[in-house]
Chains A and B, each alone.
Chain A
Amino acid sequence: MLPYIVKRFLFMIPTLIAISIVVFIVINLPPGDFVDRLVAQAKSSGEVVSPQEEASMRTVYGLNDPLPVQYFRWISGIVLRGDFGTSFRWKLPVNTLIWERLGLTFVLSISSLLFIWMVAIPVGVYSAVRQYSPGDYTFTFLAFLGVAVPDFLIALILMYIAFKYFGQTVGGLFSPNYVTAPWSLSRVLDLFSHLWIPMLVLGLAGTAGLIRTLRANLLDELRRPYVTTARAKGLPELWLLIKYPLRHALNPFVSGLNDVFVNLVSGATIVSVVLSLQTTGPLLLEALQGQDTFLAGSAILQLSVLALLGTLFSDLLLAWLDPRIRFR
């Protein structure tokens, strides 16, 4: 197992380098830079920025250097000092802005993943074992609906229902008095009391997809002769199900997991904008709109790393589950 883990970690390095380059290029695609935007803003409010001031600002922000130089300054800061650069707009290191938000994104993604598992596995098994029963039809219908409704729309509808019928505003990850409070047990509890709505919203599409996958896989397995053999041996039905076909059916399930996690990280971005969560999403959107290069770049980079780690985790899980992958 260990050589496999080491190999996987080594494989991550070129991917990370490629991602960082792609991200940097994407972030620098918009014409003009942050200083142009500042100047335009100043102009609209009647102030005049002299060309000298403009030039000196560019020097301060390091925007005069060619892009490869800017890239290497950024990436060497990250690798050597863990410094993700400075946000132009907030005049703060990206680190102070982003870490807590990234942590919350992580918590949100992981809890959505757990939610997906806890719901998709039993429901998928039920749908397969009781194929074409009313319950199966209901879940199948819900699963299709879950895939078809965009997650931000679900978030909006939930917000509407909560506001209209319960007079509450849903949104955020903390109650107002805990937003800026330091971490404590009560803040964690407050987080969990808010977390379930975005978790539900995010998890729905993934759950729907996985129910379909698991149902199809399990149906294939249930028709195999070894199931008949086990039944003939007199194994209790539930034990039989868990011991053989479910283990087989979970294989493609786990390998599909990395896609699920990438989608969760990706979907969290937009859902958190709608629900105004204190995660990376809203910060990223603002940074992109304001050409806050390093903040936006670091946010995309870190989300990609998060997705990559999720992929790695699910691959390791798969390797643990299926020896054929470890020794290939």
Chain B
Amino acid sequence: MAETNISIPIPAAVEAPESRVVVAKQWRLIWWKFRRHRLAMIGGVVTILIYMVAIFAEFLAPFPVDTFASKYTYAPPQTLHLIDQGADGSIHLTPYVNGYKVVLDYAAGRRNFQVDPDVKYPIGFFVHGSPYKLIGIFDTDIHLLGPLNKGDPMYLLGADHLGRDMFSRTIYGTRISVTIGLIGVSLSLFFGILLGGISGYFGGWIDNLIQRLIEFLQSIPSIPLWMGLAAAIPQNVPPLQVYFYITIILSVLGWTGLARVVRGRFYALKTEDFVKAAQLDGCSTLRIIFRHMVPSFMSHIIAVVTLAIPGMILAETALSFLGIGLREPIISWGVLLQEAQNIRAISTAPWLFWPGVAVVISVLALNFLGDGLRDAADPYTA
């Protein structure tokens, strides 16, 4: 009859996404919100690429870091030509780079390089080069890119004062620079969660003490303090140890910011209804903290950690640049930038700035990623 037709039809198209949102897990909501932030997505992709470069550095770099050629001191960057055009106009798909002509500049007392269009060195993909262990396990000698004939010069980003390939060195520098950020932040995170958690959980005089400590550490200008600590690293310790000292030095101040965030979150959540509900349910304190409180601020922590990594990268770069951070044979972007310290070097070889470009790209990417994560961290607010 007529009554059965009166029932209001519920438009499926409106209801479906709503119910999807209602039943979705928190991480799914965060992902949906994060996906809308385009710059953050780009930042995330670039960040992943950078860490891939760090992992597969040996494969991506044409040469080992210490390959030098005194013949090619400060050789300028070559352009990689993918297509070779023969004299008769025929086109071959054989990548090559041009060789160099050396012009002696007697007035300045140095050799100037010019790219020589007549000399062509063939370049290949997946060529055999110097042997290495991929991810430290597989023995191989395949490199993504390299000269087909061993010993041919290939300097896509130019050469430094010993004729070492800046391209390979910047790739290897990635490994140290980005992991020092990661390890430094992990260390800071450990102390941050420990001390911030204690501060927020116990409150009272312990909280007061830790807060004063944080304020105190934050009132000291970081670079002079880092410089003092870094200068304390003895000259004769092995490079790997220097690496760990530097991460520890960076974490000395790094944990304070993270501890603040953790404490703030703890305080905010302590009074939430779901915590009270869990208490009334008879959950133990540890269960409340780890099952109920930590998951709800984990997303914030991840965002803050992401935003802390660039700071670490910049700090390491600054210290190494000054010559009191990492040292050769360890190569980071900061160590590479040491070469660009004097105006004479950078005016003859501006390509020494390339590691700096790498710093800027990675810091930008991590900042965008962190910004997006922070916005998405709390998916329940619009």
Question: Which residues of B lie under 8 Å from residue A304 when comparing CB positions?
Answer: 219-221, 224
* Known A29-B229, A150-B318, A152-B321: A266·B223 in contact at CB below 8 Å: yes
* Known A159-B346, A266-B223: A296·B228 in contact at CB below 8 Å: yes
Q: How far is the CA of A153 from the CA of B229 in the complex (A)?
A: 23
Q: How far is the CA of A274 from the CA of B341 in the complex (A)?
A: 7
Query: Which of these, B224, B232, B347, contacts A303 with CB under 8 Å?
Result: B224
Question: Which residues of A lie under 8 Å from residue B346 when comparing CB positions?
Answer: 156, 159-160
Tell me if A207 is interfacial: C-beta within 8 Å of chain B: no
Question: Which residues of A lie under 8 Å from residue B359 when comparing CB positions?
Answer: 150, 153
Query: Which of these, A19, A145, A159, A288, contacts B364 with CB under 8 Å?
Result: A145
Q: How far is the CA of A262 from the CA of B223 in the complex (A)?
A: 10
B373 to chain A, nearest CB (A): 16
Tell me if A311 is interfacial: C-beta within 8 Å of chain B: yes
* Known A29-B229, A30-B231: A148·B360 in contact at CB below 8 Å: yes
Tell me if A18 is interfacial: C-beta within 8 Å of chain B: yes
Tell me if B225 is interfacial: C-beta within 8 Å of chain A: yes
**Closest residue of A by beta carbon distance from B234:** A31
Number of B residues near A (Cβ < 8 Å) is: 38
Residue-wise, chain B 210-237 has the 8 Å CB interface mask toward A (1 for contact) of 0000001011111111011101101000
A262→B218 contact, CB < 8 A:
yes
A160→B343 contact, CB < 8 A:
yes
Residue-wise, chain B 351-368 has the 8 Å CB interface mask toward A (1 for contact) of 001001001100110011
Question: Which residues of A lie under 8 Å from residue B314 when comparing CB positions?
Answer: 150
Question: Which residues of A lie under 8 Å from residue B353 when comparing CB positions?
Answer: 153, 156-157, 160
Number of A residues near B (Cβ < 8 Å) is: 49
Tell me if B324 is interfacial: C-beta within 8 Å of chain A: yes
Question: Which residues of B lie under 8 Å from residue A284 when comparing CB positions?
Answer: 224, 227
Question: Which residues of A lie under 8 Å from residue B317 when comparing CB positions?
Answer: 150
Question: Which residues of A lie under 8 Å from residue B225 when comparing CB positions?
Answer: 26, 300
Tell me if A35 is interfacial: C-beta within 8 Å of chain B: no
* Known A153-B356, A153-B359: A164·B227 in contact at CB below 8 Å: no
A285→B220 contact, CB < 8 A:
no
Query: 9 nearest interchain CB pairs?
Result: A29-B232, A266-B221, A288-B231, A148-B363, A266-B223, A26-B228, A148-B364, A265-B221, A30-B232
A-B contact pairs, 22 of them (CB 8 A): A19-B219, A26-B229, A30-B231, A147-B363, A148-B310, A148-B360, A150-B359, A156-B340, A156-B356, A159-B346, A160-B347, A164-B350, A259-B218, A262-B218, A262-B221, A266-B222, A269-B224, A288-B228, A288-B324, A303-B224, A304-B221, A306-B221
